[in-house]
Every structure is written in structure tokens, then in C-alpha cells.
Structure 1
Amino acid sequence: MHQASESLEEKRSMDQKSVDEKVVEATSISSVDFRHGDEALKLIDAEKAVKFSEEYNLKLRRKLDKMIPPLCAAVYFTQYLDKTSLNYASVMGFPITGQHYNLVSMAFYLGFLAFEFPTTYFAQKTRVAKYLGANVIIWGILLMLHSVGMCESCVAPILILIISMFYKKNEQARRISWFYFMNGLTHIFGGFVAFGVSHYDGRRLAPWKIIYILLGALAIVVGICVMIWLPDSPVHATGLTKEERIAALERVRDGQGGTENKELKTYQMKEALLDIRTWLIILTSLLTSIPNGGISNFSNLIIKSFGYTSKQTLILSTPGGAVAALTTLFCGWYADRKNERAIPVIFALLPTILGAALLIGFNNTGQKGVLLFAIYLSNSFGTALSTVYAYLASNTSGHTKRSTISALTLVAFSVGNIVGTEIFQPKDAPGYIPGKIAIMILLSVQLGVSLLLRWINVRLNKKKIAAVEDMKRKKGWTDEDVQRERNKHAFADLTDKEWVIFQFVHTHPMVTNMLSFNRNPYFLYTA
């Protein structure tokens, strides 16, 4: 076991060691250079936690809920609506068809992919909400020129970061589901808007061009609102009093996730790359995003192939949005209620697997009702990404590490969507059977990946709990002593691997019996 005099740099040299060795050895970080700590240390004392009453914290949370989730939801609503504008345009006289349409679908994600790492770096060096707002305004302008991928690449990482800075771990999945819920609403809203616009005869401007102008203008308005009202962090939340900002930081101190840090720490990047769970998250994002790239761009063409007109297609696409929205809300609620992340992913995948099977089995039968039901079911899988975002917010500490994993996850998202735009080939129209089979296989594999990820977190939790108990025995510490150490290091910008008391939340019986989720001396990974 390392001595208390060991420096932090010596601790970082353990990057090459296995996870199990680090869990055992990283048990006494008692010397931390707080000059490299969190932005939160500008407002609060690292050593001494300030206690606020439960009534005060509930009142503060209600205030945060009025300030943060609505703006996050507006951003995500605008992003997804803009991103699926091509889907509406495809049945509104859009002049590009066939393989060229696939390439246009791909173009968005190429911009997303190219800018994901640069935008993560810029976001860490700037005020994140202001950077987000500026990107939203720019993408609104670019949308009118139909080129939005570059500016949208910062959305998910920044929204995840903001939620993780303001909310406890057992509150994060639900709040993330609130803004991801907008994906479903966009299907409904966008379908009705496109239906209305489609009745215009196009004498002055083609209907599909009107869609881009309307949605681009909406994005500009949302971007201005974000720049004015969305807080960058609890430290810089101008909508809160100083006391409320301190209380907001104290609310999340127990979570050990920290808030923000402007220093780019290469050892945290390295740790992220050496963590097997990072690559499993990347894999699950990829497996979800390939179907997304196909369905989000081709679902209206598939519905039209059932024998409907363009106008009927725009209206009939809207119930799929309700399925997506309700699935997202349920999985977000379940994830926080049960302190789970992997199981909600499975809930989201199963209906889509069933839907794809029905689309294959009933192809060319003319049974429109069954085929529509199947395409509506296929909208559930997107919720898996919402749960992945909640996983990132809950299970990663260290600002650079979290930003790195978020960026890699969004790279997987963009790569998957690029591949997805090619799974529905023009030669396979109108049935697109190979694409539907691919969706079934990919999501079935993802079921196994999700269960593997959960098993790893459960295993890590057991090892970390054992390591903390061993530390308590050797040092003669009580639970109160451990809690004191947690408070002291909460905003030191340590990673979940550096600091043994940072552990992973799940509902394994061992943990349920030992600990209370809201007040315990451990940080647990969410399974």
C-alpha cells in the first residue's frame, strides 16, 4: 500500500497497471495539489463541507429544474429537429435521390466526426454554456444552407457535463431523459410542420427549402436564449445567489464527480483510453448509431413504400415520436429509481428488435397496420443513447477523463451514423430487407455488450468496497473519517481510478445492504 507521503505524480504512474491493482493500491491519496483542482474551489472549502437543510436543497433543486432542463431540452429539440429535416425533405420534392441521397445523409455526420475532438477541447477552455449557445446560433445560420454537423457536435457532451455539474447521481438519468425526450417530440412537431408546409404550391420557394429556413430560424432563437440564461457551472450561475451557488456545489460534493477544470490533463486522457469500460461504451454507442443513421434518414421513405402518399407519410410518421418519447421518460425514471444504466438500455432495444423482425416478416404482405406498428416500435432504440449519456455523467470522475470519453462516444455516434446511412441501399428499395436484418443483428449484439458492462461495474464495486474496508482497518478509520476524506477530495479533480472512495452505483444486493445511496461513504459506479 502506498505511503501517505507519496506524490500525486507517482500515483499517476500506475496508469499501466491493471484495474484490480489500482483499486487495491490507490487507497490513500492524502496529498493532493489543489492548485490543479476544480473550479468549485473558488467558492467552497475543500476541507469543510457546508450543510444545508433538506428543505433548502429541495427548493434549490426546483429552481435548477426551472432553469437548466428546459434550456437543455430546447437545444436538443432544435438539434434533433434540424438533423431529421432531411428525412422530411426526402418526401417533399427534395431534388437529390438514390445513392446521392445516401451521401447527403452522410455529410452531416462527416462534419460531426471531424469536429468532435476540437469542439471538446474548445469547450473545456471556454465557458461551456456560452460556447454551446454560439454553436447553436451558427448552426441555425448554416442550417439554412443545409450544413449543420460541425456545430452540433458539441451539444451532447456539453449538456451531459452541465447536468453532471448541477445534479446528484440519482437525479441525472431522469434530467438527461427530459432533454432526450425532445427527440420523440420532434417527430411529432416536425411531422405536422412538414405536413402543413407540404400544402404550399412552391411557386416562390420549394416546400423543402421552407423547412430549412423555419428550423434554422428556430435554432438561432434557442441559441440566443442559451447564451443569456443557461449557466456554465454552479460557480458561474448568475441566476443563483452566492449562497445558492455554494449549496449547489455542496449538493454534488458527495458524488465525487466535480464540476469543471480548464486544465487539460494528459494522464486523465490516458486513463480513459486504458479503461475497458470506455471501449464498451464506444461499442454500444456504435451499435446504436448505425441503426439510427438508417432509420432517422429513411423512415419516411419506408413508410411511403407501404403505399402512402407523401402527405399521408408525414402525418403517419408522428406516432413513432410518441413511442420514442415515452420510452425515454420510462427508462430515465427507471435508471434513477433503480440506480441502473444497463437494464434500461435493454428495455429500449427489445421493441426495436421486434419491430425490425415484423418489418421483415410482413414485407410485401400489404398489411399496412402491422407494418406501421412495426415502424413505430423501431423508434424505441434511440433511448439507449440517452442512458449511455447518463452512464457517462454518473460513472466518470476527472474533468479531462469525462470529456475524453464523451468525445470518443460522440465519435462512435458519428461513425455509426455514417455507416448507417449506407445500410439502406437504393438497390434494396422498397423493402430494404438487408438493412432491417442488419438492425436486428446489431441491436442483439448490443444486448450482450450492455450486460457485460454491467457485470464489470458490479465486479469493480465489490473490489472497491473491499479496498475501502481494508483502508478503514489499517488506518483505524470510521465511516465518518471516510466521509471526511470524500468531502476533502470531492473537488480535487481526481479520476474514478485515482481515488478509491470514488466507486460505482448499482443495485447489487451487497451494496444495497451495506449502503444508503444518498448518504454513504463511497462513490459507486452505476451498473
Structure 2
Amino acid sequence: MSTSMQPPSFSREKSSVSDLRNRYSNDDPDKVGVETTISSLEGDEALKLVGRERTVQFSEEYNRKLRHKLDFLIPPLCAAVYFTQFLDKTALNYASIMGLPITGQNYNLVLMAFYLGYLFWEFPTVYLSQKTRVAKYLGINVVAWGVILMLHAVATSFGALFALRFLLGMLESCVTPILILLISMFYKKDEQARRISWFYVMTGLAQVFGGFVAYGVSFSDGRVLAPYKIIYLLLGGLAIVVGIAVLIWMPDSPVLANFLTEEERIAALERVRDDQGGTENKKLKMDQVKEALTDVRTWLIVLTTIMTNIPNGGINNFSNLIIKSFGYTSKQALILSTPGGAVLAATTLTLGWYSDKKKERMMPFVIALIPTIIGSAIMIGLNGSGQKGALLFGIYLVTGTFSVSGLVVYSWNASNISGHTKKSTVNALTMFIFGVGNIIGTEIFQPKDAPDYIPGKIAILTLMTVQLGVCLLLRWVNIRLNRQKRKRLEEEKAKRGWTDEDVQKERERHAFLDLTDKQNIYFEYVK
């Protein structure tokens, strides 16, 4: 480790923010090369620790060791949360063929209840997480939903299960926005997709784990507890353990990371300074909310989210019933669902690595969509053929590839949205639409279409084909915006006579001002 200067003082920082506010209050945004408003000039929490200008340098070796230290704690905790979340919300999929006393349309409605709770609480939960210590808020929610999940074991009526699923959706709605925020605070843009893939891979591994656990539990004779009740008790207990671990060890931000020394906290912030993404700000800024709602890219991400989560709501909750329809028993369906999870895990890690390596977000999505389209076509074309192996291959392609859409959307939001309130707003809107898509998805697999569910399979094929075009459009928009920013920056350099060193200094000064990606001329989008 090598450092060149002592960390900047807090008192000096306060005056520098005051100076900048005075410059903006003169209504001359050209002075600093950005267009913004006074309400956006409340810098984020990092300013209190490192100041507006880089005054300390750390060696590559020091930063590498620091990144490894972060990797040892943050991604594993994120993965544990995501693992238990996916298991808990899809437990009903296993219960559906393990004696659950809810069938037919009532089963669809109980499925829907989770996402209704998700929709109802998504925006309030993101607001609350911004106003509180974000990791502690997450941990409390994980413990609470573990308790709710265990209560599923004592509920037997439709009304009770509907209410519990609604509460489960409310409590789980905070997970993805918080995990994206944590990764974006601690990691550089070219590190984010891989780290997000490290927790998103739990979607696949949870399918494998859950399938084997459910298969083992299915041999219970049910004398003491019905097999589906055992599943709920086991998974609920696991969630409580994970929630306690988050409360103890997950840091709220680089500024509040107690497992780092003060010097390491400064280094963690300096690592992400050039990305212009900022860290944390407790103030809700309405101008950033407005920008989020008027940014065309927000609505393209919304479109992507709903188009990919309609299939998600269907496949995640009906995959075991679909596999059983190929001619397998319930026990066989449970164990045969696991390879799809393994395919998803491998696809997630591979495309997460590729996304950071090539600094791409949308092309990995395109790569993942093609097998999904092929798998859907196989399940439709070979329906009723009796070719079990080919039909299994088709559903493995679908379950193992299209779900990578979540990884892409999460990493896209982390890398392409700046300004704490704007990022929180876009994440909340994304997850709200996630709920809408999944609600629709539970209804495209209707009881009247069982056991083949051909309309649902056709819907998946159609939506994923259209999504190819949306991916390419999003990629083109970001490339175009980067060209415009580079042109503005060149004009600014010529106007002021800046050198490359001057530009770098200005870039560093803007990093923790909590500016949005549009307000900050130095922010670069990842295509």
C-alpha cells in the first residue's frame, strides 16, 4: 500500500460544497460544464470522508487487495439473500405437487398474491430504505419474511395462504433494489455485472437445491407433517439465519463499512470516483424523480422488464407441472427440474463475466434470448409427441437462459443510472413492473389449458422474439448518448482551454456531488 497524502478533512469539504452552490445559484451552469438544479447540489455521504478532489493515491496492488476483501463479504451476503429469496417465493411451485390443499384457479390467485404485495409495497420500501440504514433495513425484512414463510405451514385455507403470500411479497420487494445499490456503491462499472452475476446465479443454484430438498422431503409419509409444510419450515428457518447474518455483517455503504479501516474506506471510495456513480444520499430529490420518469431509457427498461417477467411468472411457478405433463411422476418432476437450474447458473456466470470483460450489457441478453426462443419452439412443436428427452431439453433451454434477463437489467441499472434518488426511483419502478409482469405470467398458464399450456408457451416465444429488438434499441440509445457527451466535453475543453489533466480533475470533483447521469457531463453509459 502506498498513499501520498493524509485524508481530506470534513471541515474543508463543507466549504467546497458551499462554494459550488454559490456558483450554481448565479444561474451560470456553463461555469462547471453541467446543467443541474440547486436541489441536486447536496452531495452524497462520500463527500464527508474524501472531499471533492482526489487528495490521496493508492497503488494498484492496494486496490486489488481491497477488492478481494470486499469480495469476501459483500457478494456472498448478497448471494445468501438472493438464494433464500428465490427459494422462498418459489416454494409454492414445489408445494403444488406435494399435497398443497389449493388447486385450480385458487392456486393461480395465491401465486398472484405474492406479486400484488410486491406491487403494493415496492415504492414505499425503496423510500424507507433510502431514509434508513439500507443493509439493516434489508436484514430486518429477511428475518420477517422467514417468519411469514414458516407460518405457511399452519395455513390451510385459501384466504390464509393468500394473505401470507401477500405479506411475503411486501417483505421481499426491497431485495433487488438494495442489492443493486450496494454493488453499485462498492464496485466499479467494469466489475458490477460479474458481482451481480455472483448473487443472481443463486436463481439457478436455488432451483437445483430446492429440487433436491423437495425430492427428499417428498418421501415423508406425512404422519407428523405434510411434505409441503416441512418445505416451508425448512426454508423459513434458513431465511431467518440469513437475515441475522445480514444484520451483523452487511455494510450500509463504503462510508459506514465497519469491517474496513478508515484508510480502506477512503480507498474504496476513490476506486469508484471516476465512474461518477456516487454512493448514498438520504435526501429525496424531486428533480431526480422527474428526470427518471422523463428518461426514455427508463421506459425501455420498463418494457424489457415486463416482457421478460411475464414468462418468468409462468415458468417459475409452473415448471414442475409442465415437466410432469411430459409423462413423469411428481417425484420425477421434482428431481428433473434441477438440471435447468444448473444451466441457468452456468449461463449467468458466463454472461456476467462477458458483460464486464467487453463492457457490454445488452449483447449478453441477445445471446441468452436465442436459446430461449429455440426452447419455446421445441416445446410447442413437439407437444404431444411423447419425445420426453427433447421436451426436457426444450424446457431446460428456456429455464436456463431467459432468466438471465434479470442479471442484465440489474447490471444495466447499476452502471447506467446516476444520482441516488434517480437510481432508487428507476430500481423501484423496475421492480414494480417486475411484479406486474409476474402477475400477468401467473395468468397465461390457465387451468383450462393444462396440462400442455400451449397458449403460455406461445406467449413466451412471441415476447422473447420482440425483446431482441428492444435490446438492440437500448444499446443504440446509450451509444448515441455517449457520442453526444463526448462532443459536449470536447466543446468544453476547447472553450476553456483545458488539458486532459484538467478534465480529469473536473471529473474527480463531480464524482460525489450526487448528480444524475444526464446532469453530469463526465458520466459515461455502458452499452
Question: How many Å apart are 1:30 and its aligned residue?
Answer: 10
Partner of 2:162: none
Partner of 1:61: 67
Question: How many Å apart are 1:145 and its aligned residue?
Answer: 2.6
Equivalents in 1 of 2:404, 2:26: separation in Å?
40
**SS of equivalent residue, structure 1 residue 46:** coil
Deviation string 1:225-259 (CA, Å, 9 cap, x unpaired) is: 00100101000000000000000000000110000
Please give the residue correspondences for 1:81-230 in structure 2 after superposition, counting only pairs within 5 Å: 81-146=87-152, 147=165, 148-230=168-250
Partner of 2:409: 388
Change beyond 3 A, Cα 1:53–1:359:
same
The reply to whether residue 430 of structure 1 matches residue 451 of structure 2 is yes
Partner of 1:506: none
Partner of 1:76: 82
Deviation string 1:150-173 (CA, Å, 9 cap, x unpaired) is: 110000000000000000000000
Partner of 1:257: 277
Equivalents in 1 of 2:121, 2:208: separation in Å?
30
Identify which of 42, 45, 54 aligns with 1:48. 54
Change beyond 3 A, Cα 1:385–1:33:
closer
The reply to whether residue 294 of structure 1 matches residue 304 of structure 2 is no
Letter in 1 for 2:42: H
Change beyond 3 A, Cα 1:499–1:310:
same
Partner of 1:413: 434
**Structure 2: where are the runs of 5+ without partners?**
1-19, 153-164
Conserved 8 A contact 2:122-2:431:
yes
Conserved 8 A contact 2:39-2:285:
no
Change beyond 3 A, Cα 1:474–1:183:
same
Partner of 1:526: 526
**SS of equivalent residue, structure 2 residue 479:** helix
Deviation string 1:457-514 (CA, Å, 9 cap, x unpaired) is: 1111111101100100000001111110111111000111111111xxxxxxxxxxxx
Deviation string 1:402-458 (CA, Å, 9 cap, x unpaired) is: 000000000110000000000011111111111000001111111111110101111
In angstroms, what is the RMSD of aligned CA positions?
Answer: 1.9
Identify which of 350, 362, 374 aligns with 2:394. 374
Equivalents in 1 of 2:288, 2:415: separation in Å?
17
Name the TM-score, length of structure 1 as normaliser.
Answer: 0.91
Partner of 2:466: 445
Equivalents in 2 of 1:4, 1:422: separation in Å?
52
**SS of equivalent residue, structure 1 residue 397:** coil
Segment of structure 1 superposing worse, 143-152 or 467-476: 143-152
Identify which of 387, 395, 398 aligns with 2:419. 398
Conserved 8 A contact 1:184-1:323:
yes
Partner of 1:354: 374
Conserved 8 A contact 1:8-1:33:
no
Change beyond 3 A, Cα 1:106–1:469:
same
Equivalents in 2 of 1:491, 1:299: separation in Å?
45
The reply to whether residue 335 of structure 1 matches residue 355 of structure 2 is yes
Equivalents in 1 of 2:25, 2:474: separation in Å?
29
Question: How many Å apart are 1:4 and its aligned residue?
Answer: 11
Equivalents in 1 of 2:25, 2:432: separation in Å?
31
Letter in 2 for 1:473: A
Conserved 8 A contact 1:26-1:498:
no
Conserved 8 A contact 2:40-2:515:
no
Question: How many Å apart are 1:10 and its aligned residue?
Answer: 5.3
Equivalents in 1 of 2:151, 2:102: separation in Å?
15
Letter in 1 for 2:525: Y
Conserved 8 A contact 1:11-1:498:
no
The reply to whether residue 488 of structure 1 matches residue 509 of structure 2 is yes
Conserved 8 A contact 1:49-1:487:
no
Letter in 1 for 2:118: F
Conserved 8 A contact 2:39-2:287:
no
Name the TM-score, length of structure 2 as normaliser.
Answer: 0.91
Equivalents in 1 of 2:41, 2:210: separation in Å?
49
**Structure 1: where are the runs of 5+ without partners?**
13-23, 503-523
Letter in 2 for 1:373: F
Conserved 8 A contact 1:136-1:152:
yes
Letter in 1 for 2:325: S
Deviation string 1:373-401 (CA, Å, 9 cap, x unpaired) is: 00111111111111110010001110000
Question: How many Å apart are 1:6 and its aligned residue?
Answer: 5.9
Change beyond 3 A, Cα 1:442–1:29:
closer
Conserved 8 A contact 1:258-1:493:
yes
Conserved 8 A contact 1:286-1:412:
yes
Aligned length: 493
Change beyond 3 A, Cα 1:103–1:46:
same
Partner of 2:24: 7
Partner of 1:306: 326
Conserved 8 A contact 2:21-2:41:
no
Partner of 2:287: 267
Conserved 8 A contact 2:292-2:422:
yes
Conserved 8 A contact 1:172-1:394:
yes
Equivalents in 2 of 1:115, 1:8: separation in Å?
37
Question: How many Å apart are 1:49 and its aligned residue?
Answer: 3.7
Equivalents in 2 of 1:34, 1:493: separation in Å?
7
Sequence identity (%): 67
**SS of equivalent residue, structure 2 residue 516:** coil
Partner of 2:155: none
Letter in 1 for 2:51: D
